[in-house]
């Protein structure tokens, strides 16, 4: 007897006992995980640097309050390039395949981050320092715009149908590995005297990303193409114009994806950057904020796959909704507690916000987002939903939050209201989102409200998902 959620005719023709499939699944998991680790190491290290030291390094001529706003604005500007990169590489991913696009994005993202560590500061070359910083941040965002969408799509397409939520969530351990590494490194370097930190030590975390680039590229060279993309090629169904198909057939699901990401993405960057900066102004040491993010990352490495596994059993939407409820409940008491400036309060709030609110949503999202879109436009669909939401939620959150703090004299309540709005949007969106658990990813139609759970939207398509590769 099968569960009503996971029971489906879409049994994999090849299972985990097939040595070739098992090996390909391991490679896909490793390739996706390392890519996620590099992306989030890059973004976490930049976000922490922007929140704590980039204001003094690149905007020394500005007043103290505006330095933080300007510094976090350079963090936010990278999100402007993400949708462009998502569209550009998303088209290539749906036309040429997932593998080589992921090779390009990881290299572009990693090289940009490494070069940040070579930049001269504002005192050395004046206004050109922030200009060059913005250029590299745009390049980083351009590559990142399709990296996570590609990794998510690839892993969902490789994963066994009945355990897709769990397997699709495994690479996101890389997210927290990267965040943990970044916050741990930054916690160490911020223990140094300020003159040493701002003179040269801040460069070390950025230059170290070159090691991750080399590892990621080496692993992805050995990766084989996604089985569902191979299925498209065999059926001669590869889209000639994925973007046009997306605009014609998938606008609703792109908007749903954006709504789902408001609390997850916005909450992630609020608690990783803005909460750290706010805690410092309230009296917590710089290193303690980074340590709180590191603790959250360790717990998140457990929470995300467990949430993915729960979504296989109970459905994507109930699990996703639970994560949004956590942020709704945390918003007001959490930011009040942060305003007290205690180390234990900072740790509790950041840990709950990231490890449980954000991570529960992320664990369900890993499979949900690819399942929303048909096979011909899945890469660009996931990239569009992820990256346009990243501009609206993740990119604006630290900048808008820093402006609110400056305008209100570091009052905590505007940020609490902001978190409430983001979480409320996501909570409401879950009620107009189709349940997609165990959906057949060879289907070319998007998921829609009213589709049978775990069923097919197009009866003409084969009710199976190829799990192996030729």
Q: Would you say residue 469 lies in a domain?
A: no
pLDDT at 399 over 80: no
**pLDDT recorded at residue 458:** 41
Higher pLDDT, 331 or 460: 331
Contact residues for 81 (Cβ-Cβ < 8 A; gap 6+) = 137, 138, 139, 140, 141, 142, 145
Q: Would you say residue 132 lies in a domain?
A: yes
CA 398, CA 272: separation in Å to the nearest integer? 9
Q: Would you say residue 352 lies in a domain?
A: yes
Tell me: the pLDDT tens digits for 227-275?
888 877 777 667 778 888 898 889 999 999 999 999 999 998 889 888 8
**pLDDT recorded at residue 413:** 92
CA 106, CA 114: separation in Å to the nearest integer? 12
Q: Would you say residue 448 lies in a domain?
A: no
Q: Would you say residue 179 lies in a domain?
A: yes
Instruction: Give, as one character, the DSSP assignment of residue 13.
Output: S
Tell me how many degrees the CA angle 387-388-394 measures, rounded to the nearest 5: 75
How many residues are given for the chain? Answer: 470
Mean pLDDT of 39-47: 77
pLDDT at 102 over 70: yes
Helix or strand (DSSP H, E) at 14: none
CA 47, CA 388: separation in Å to the nearest integer? 19
Tell me, what CATH number does 278's domain have? 1.20.1250.20
**pLDDT recorded at residue 195:** 79
Q: Are 172 and 120 in contact (CB under 8 A)?
A: no
Higher pLDDT, 385 or 67: 385
Q: How confident is the model at residue 16 (pLDDT cuts 50, 70, 90)?
A: very low
**pLDDT recorded at residue 455:** 52
**pLDDT recorded at residue 327:** 97
Q: Are 366 and 158 in contact (CB under 8 A)?
A: no
**pLDDT recorded at residue 457:** 40
Residue 182: exposed, middle, or buried by beta-carbon count in 10 A (0-12, 13-18, 19+)? Answer: buried
**pLDDT recorded at residue 12:** 45
**pLDDT recorded at residue 368:** 96
Helix or strand (DSSP H, E) at 352: none
**pLDDT recorded at residue 56:** 81
CA 202, CA 189: separation in Å to the nearest integer? 7
The CB-side HSE value for 460 (13 A sphere, CA atoms) comes to 3
Tell me: the pLDDT tens digits for 343-373?
999 999 999 999 999 999 999 999 999 999 9
CA 51, CA 283: separation in Å to the nearest integer? 15
Q: Would you say residue 26 lies in a domain?
A: yes
| Residue in 183, 114, 150 with CA at minimum distance from that of residue 35 | 150
Q: Would you say residue 397 lies in a domain?
A: yes
Q: Would you say residue 402 lies in a domain?
A: yes
CA 239, CA 242: separation in Å to the nearest integer? 5
Number of domains comprising the chain? 1
Contacts 24+ apart (CB under 8 A), 450-457: 453/4, 453/5, 453/315, 454/5, 454/6, 454/7, 454/8, 454/10, 455/8, 456/10
Q: How confident is the model at residue 126 (pLDDT cuts 50, 70, 90)?
A: confident
pLDDT at 463 over 70: no
| Residue in 377, 386, 423, 367 with CA at minimum distance from that of residue 141 | 386
Q: Which domain holds residue 281?
A: 19-228+250-432
- pTM for this predicted structure: 0.79
């Amino acid at each position: 007897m099968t569960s009503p959620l996971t029971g489906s005719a879409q049994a994999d023709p090849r299972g985990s006992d097939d040595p070739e499939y098992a090996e390909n699944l391991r490679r896909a998991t490793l390739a996706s995980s390392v890519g996620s680790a590099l992306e989030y190491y890059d973004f976490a290290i930049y976000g922490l640097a922007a929140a704590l030291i980039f204001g003094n390094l690149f905007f020394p001529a500005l007043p103290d309050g505006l330095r933080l706003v300007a510094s976090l604005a350079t963090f936010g500007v990278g999100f402007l390039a993400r949708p462009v990169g998502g569209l550009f590489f998303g088209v290539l991913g749906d036309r040429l395949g997932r593998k080589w696009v992921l090779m390009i994005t990881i290299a572009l993202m990693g090289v940009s981050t490494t070069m940040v560590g070579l930049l001269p500061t504002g005192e050395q070359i004046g206004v050109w320092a922030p200009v060059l910083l913005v250029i590299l941040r745009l390049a980083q965002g351009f590559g990142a715009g399709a990296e996570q969408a590609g990794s998510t799509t690839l892993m969902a397409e490789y994963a066994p149908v009945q355990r897709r939520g769990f397997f699709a969530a495994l690479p996101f351990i890389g997210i927290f590995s990267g965040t943990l590494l970044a916050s741990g490194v930054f916690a160490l370097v911020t223990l140094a005297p300020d003159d040493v930190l701002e003179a040269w030590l801040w460069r070390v975390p950025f230059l170290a990303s070159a090691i991750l680039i080399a590892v990621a590229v080496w692993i992805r060279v050995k990766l084989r193409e996604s089985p569902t993309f191979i299925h498209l090629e065999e059926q001669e169904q590869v889209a000639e114009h994925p973007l046009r198909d997306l605009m014609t057939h998938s606008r609703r699901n792109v908007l749903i994806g954006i709504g789902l990401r408001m609390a997850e993405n916005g909450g992630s960057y609020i608690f990783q950057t803005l909460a750290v900066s706010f805690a410092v102004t309230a009296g917590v040491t710089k290193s303690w904020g980074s340590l709180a993010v590191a603790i959250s990352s360790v717990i998140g490495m457990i929470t995300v796959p467990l949430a993915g596994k729960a979504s296989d059993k109970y459905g994507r939407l109930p699990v996703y909704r639970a994560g949004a409820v956590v942020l709704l409940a945390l918003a007001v008491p959490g930011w009040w507690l942060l305003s007290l400036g205690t180390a234990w309060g900072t740790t509790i709030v950041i840990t709950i916000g990231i490890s449980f609110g954000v991570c529960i949503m992320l664990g369900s999202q890993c499979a949900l987002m690819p399942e929303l879109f048909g096979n011909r436009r899945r890469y660009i669909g996931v990239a569009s939903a992820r990256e346009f939401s990243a501009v609206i939620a993740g990119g604006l959150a630290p900048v808008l939050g820093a402006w609110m703090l400056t305008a209100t004299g570091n009052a905590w309540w505007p940020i609490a209201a902001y978190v409430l709005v983001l979480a409320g949007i996501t909570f409401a969106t879950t009620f107009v989102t189709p349940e997609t658990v165990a959906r057949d990813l060879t289907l070319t139609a998007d998921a829609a409200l009213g589709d049978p759970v775990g069923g097919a939207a197009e009866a003409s398509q084969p009710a199976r998902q190829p799990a192996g590769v030729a």
